[in-house]
Chain A
């Protein structure tokens, strides 16, 4: 173990440090110490590979109280290994971790359990809920281990469950819940344990894009409300930029830069980060999934012209997506056409549908979108497997998103948007025509 260094200032100058990591390294393999010595002497990770896999090399950082600290890096860069050393699931080859002033590394099992109960809980990528227990019992699990009585812990668990919006699901089994809901249970379980620090390893990576974004927003909200310290691991730059107060970029087991999202974007520490981030210049970082909106401006074809007109009015747009069975996109309708049809008392929406709506994959980067979108003059539909509508990118959104890019794409902003018809006009039309004409 690393000897204590008496000549270094021992007392903590900032007592707002929630988690401190010093010279932390982990090598998997038969001769980890030797591998590490070799690397310290200047060998590369590959050169030391015979002695063991250096998953984390000499990581040092502080996480401040109430901060969301994001660790970002490509797959295999050592993120999971790092976070698992923070609560002692892995014993480091070298270095120390302190959480809330308590040592995590090199302590006996009993002490370690104490730290886990009082200081640090965890949210898992694949949720890791106990499948044979109800949502309530899962959420109360941390308190159960802490020895809190049944009544009390269930009461506390109910509070947390309400916070994450799952109060109707308390008595259900995890398998009855969707992925997003299961992860909310995972988060509730970690919150309910009432530890100041939360570790989240790719917690949202297994979720659909839209749910993922919702969860990110909810996490930021919860964090603001409860003031937890969060260490969040992700390989997704969007997620890192959205969540992180500070971001640590990892590469091949080393932390290559730590900074605010802006610092990382505008002032990359080295070529690697620059490339990472340049690869990421916003139009590329942002994917269709990241700018799409929930498809409020979409209706099934069965609603008929009146239903479409109401939706147009409520969404205040000039065009509306129309979907068929299985939420596949049939096309779009324009407000003028719909209004005319309603006035004429028509029942069918189908004749009005313009099939020229462009459909894109959620992973399409924004950089590839404009020529598609601008030329068609219609909103873009983002579709998933089997053509199922996931979201829409209204033209306004697209232009706004691209407007952030300080590049030559800015000229695109001059494209005119057709103004939506006045909402009052639509309401008048609806009022003036009889209800019975609604198609079923």
Chain B
């Protein structure tokens, strides 16, 4: 009878997790210690400075990557967070996000590079990513608690697993999408694979990879809020609380703080991918390039020769006429 037929998949996984807990406890304790230490550093960095100092730093950062409008938005947004009394929570959430995103990046980018270079790796990684991405976020929390005990660590670990996929995918996509002929040019001149990766593939894939970075950060933020269910602190805690108490006021205040953080993080990391021309950093960079170029040929001769070349290149179109009009 079909009713009696039951695949004990859950039991198997449980048994597996049990075995891992018992036998690999050392490994997980080590991971726990590392994550905890890093989180400690981030927490100190974000929560210790007084609010005005922290706001000034973040605003300056926003100004550097996107200009004064972004800076203005950042000040206003952060002010709202302070005024609804969510500042400490927001900084805790930010610490969690930064640590989780950092680990996710450290795993995702090398994995993406590897997958881009090997079809086999790509074929193995792809279904794993599909699995990670489609599994409901809460489910990660269960093994995470068992392996890392309650607190911030299981929250961070679950976040890493949840946020990983787009980083890997976009890194692979970016590198595979680099113009084949240009990569071939690297090979044709005798460049080593490492050199081609550093000098051709990574720089040309950078905009796509930065999109991946952006996605990792955004997913981390959303997951960090969910991770409050297993004891991660920050805005998520208030949200979980408001849910239990049906407290609309608290829920909205914490929720809007998440939205503000999300917008600031999104706009800033987005800008990193393709530094806009009018952003102060881009301008600085352009100036240093100009300075680097300065010692080469004098501008006057440059102009004349340039127009000469331009003329030959259009097939000396109307060269007789050009002289007449000059």
Contacts and interface: CB of A to CB of B under 8 A. Distances in A.
Query: Are these two chains actual partners, yes or no?
Result: yes
A169 B297 CA distance: 10
A178 B313 contact: yes
A295 B192 contact: no
Contact of B312 (A87, A165, A298): A165
A131 interface: yes
Nearest to A125: B181
Contacts of B316: 294, 296
B320 A299 contact: yes
Given A124-B181, A390-B315, A391-B315, A117 B189 contact: yes
Interface string B292-326: 01001100011101100110111111111100110
A122 interface: yes
B18 interface: no
A130 B191 CA distance: 13
A295 B192 CA distance: 47
Contacts of B310: 178
Nearest to B196: A145
B187 interface: yes
A325 B181 CA distance: 38
B229 interface: no
Interface residues of A, number: 57
Nearest to A311: B320
B190 A89 contact: no
B179 interface: yes
Most buried by A among B181, B306, B324: B324
A117 B190 contact: yes
Nearest to B311: A294
A372 interface: no
B190 A181 contact: no
Interface stretch (A32-40, A207-215, A231-239, A330-338): A207-215
Contacts of A121: 188-189
Contacts of A310: 324
Interface in B255-286: none
Given A168-B309, A180-B313, A145 B191 contact: yes
Contacts of B182: 128-131
A372 to B, nearest CB: 22
B44 interface: no
Contacts of B190: 113-117, 142, 145-146
B126 interface: no
Contact of A298 (B297, B302, B318): B318
B195 interface: yes
B185 interface: yes
Given A208-B315, A294-B315, A181 B296 contact: no
B226 to A, nearest CB: 39
B203 interface: yes
A180 B190 CA distance: 25
Interface string B151-194: 00000000000000000000000000001011011011111100
Nearest to B303: A168
B250 interface: no
A169 B309 contact: yes
A44 interface: no
Given A170-B296, A171-B296, A132 B189 contact: no
A378 B134 CA distance: 73
B48 interface: no
Contacts of B179: 128
Contacts of A279: none
A350 interface: no
A299 B321 contact: yes
Contact of A128 (B181, B192, B301): B181
Contacts of A169: 306, 309
A171 B289 CA distance: 10
B185 A295 contact: no
A327 to B, nearest CB: 7
The 9 nearest A-B residue pairs measured at CB: A210-B315, A116-B190, A117-B190, A168-B305, A122-B188, A128-B185, A128-B181, A171-B293, A113-B190
12 contacts: A116-B189, A122-B185, A128-B185, A168-B302, A178-B313, A181-B313, A189-B189, A210-B315, A211-B315, A214-B315, A298-B318, A300-B321
Interface of A: 87, 89, 113-117, 121-122, 124-126, 128-132, 134, 136, 141-142, 145-146, 165-171, 178, 180-181, 189, 193, 199, 208, 210-211, 214, 294-300, 303, 307, 310-311, 314-315, 327, 389-391
